[in-house]
């Protein structure tokens, strides 16, 4: 009597088994919660980039930043450098935080990424490639609530939808299959990361998650000048 009773090995194994079962039951829920949080951070990033885009225009007589200038690097594929190109971009003085340029879920899929967002090609025509095109002004956007400003891309292409994963800072979404990719990895129904949603911010500043076909439609307006 008086002896401290220790756990037997069988009791200890039973406790471990119960804990393992609980963890297995909870992990999809925990994983979902992490992904929800990351999707919220992504939308916050896009909102901040959108604010910088509009602030930039306000400082430049209403002219939006060039699609290849908002992040540096020109037409080269600079989404996985050490962050140099986002610091060289025209929006950097207004953003000044590297983490704002990359979606946390994207970073989990491509850990070397320094940028996961691209600007709607139709907003900022590029004198480097299209010398006769004018850069777009905020006043030319007739329905800002239906016009994509900046959207998230995928690191990989999807057969039949996109020919390349994320490359330069422009999101060119015209005819299928698209040259550029549209993000599909946010909150997929199952494990298929090609079936989820893209982070996107519209030109009225509202950020949300959109399915790929709608993201594409939001890149264009039928009465675009
Ligand atoms: Zn995202």
Mean pLDDT on 149-162: 90
Count of beta carbons in the 10 Å neighbourhood of residue 27: 10
Output the CA 45–ligand 1 centroid distance in Å.
9
Say yes or no to pLDDT of 191 above 90. no
Q: What is the pLDDT of residue 37?
A: 97
Distance CA(89)–CA(93), nearest Å, equals 8
Mean pLDDT on 68-73: 83
Output the CA 86–ligand 1 centroid distance in Å.
17
Count of beta carbons in the 10 Å neighbourhood of residue 167: 18
Share of the chain above pLDDT 90, in %: 51
Contact status, residue 160 vs residue 166, Cβ threshold 8 Å:
no
pLDDT tens per residue across span 81-103: 899 999 999 999 999 999 999 99
Mean pLDDT across the chain: 87
Q: What is the pLDDT of residue 45?
A: 98
Closest CA to 170 of 122, 121, 104, 126: 121
Output the CA 2–ligand 1 centroid distance in Å.
60
Name the pLDDT band for 134 (thresholds 50, 70, 90). Answer: low
Mean pLDDT on 5-14: 88
Q: What is the pLDDT of residue 160?
A: 82
Output the CA 93–ligand 1 centroid distance in Å.
22
Residues with CB under 5 A from ligand 1 (ion): 42, 103, 152, 199
Say yes or no to pLDDT of 109 above 60. yes
Contact status, residue 168 vs residue 73, Cβ threshold 8 Å:
yes
Count of beta carbons in the 10 Å neighbourhood of residue 90: 18
């Amino acid at each position: 009597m008086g002896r401290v009773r220790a756990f037997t090995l069988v009791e200890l194994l039973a406790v471990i088994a119960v804990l393992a079962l609980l963890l297995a039951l909870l992990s999809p829920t925990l994983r979902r919660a992490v992904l929800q949080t990351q999707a919220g951070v992504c939308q916050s990033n896009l909102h901040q980039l959108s604010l910088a885009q509009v602030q930039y225009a306000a400082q430049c007589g209403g002219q939006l930043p060039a699609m290849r200038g908002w992040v540096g690097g020109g037409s080269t594929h600079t989404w996985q450098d050490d962050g140099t190109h986002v610091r060289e971009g025209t929006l950097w003085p207004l953003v000044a935080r590297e983490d704002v340029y990359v979606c946390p879920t994207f970073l989990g899929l491509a850990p070397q990424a320094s940028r996961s967002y691209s600007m709607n090609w139709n907003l900022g025509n590029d004198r480097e490639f299209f010398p006769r095109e004018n850069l777009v002004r905020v006043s030319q956007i007739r329905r800002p609530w239906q016009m994509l400003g900046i959207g998230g891309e995928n690191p990989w292409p999807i057969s039949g939808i996109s020919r390349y994963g994320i490359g330069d800072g422009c999101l060119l979404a015209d005819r299928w299959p698209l040259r550029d990719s549209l993000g599909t990895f946010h909150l997929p129904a199952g494990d298929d990361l090609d079936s989820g949603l893209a982070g996107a911010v519209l030109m009225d500043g509202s950020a949300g998650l959109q399915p790929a076909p709608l993201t594409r439609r939001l890149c264009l307006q039928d009465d675009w000048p």
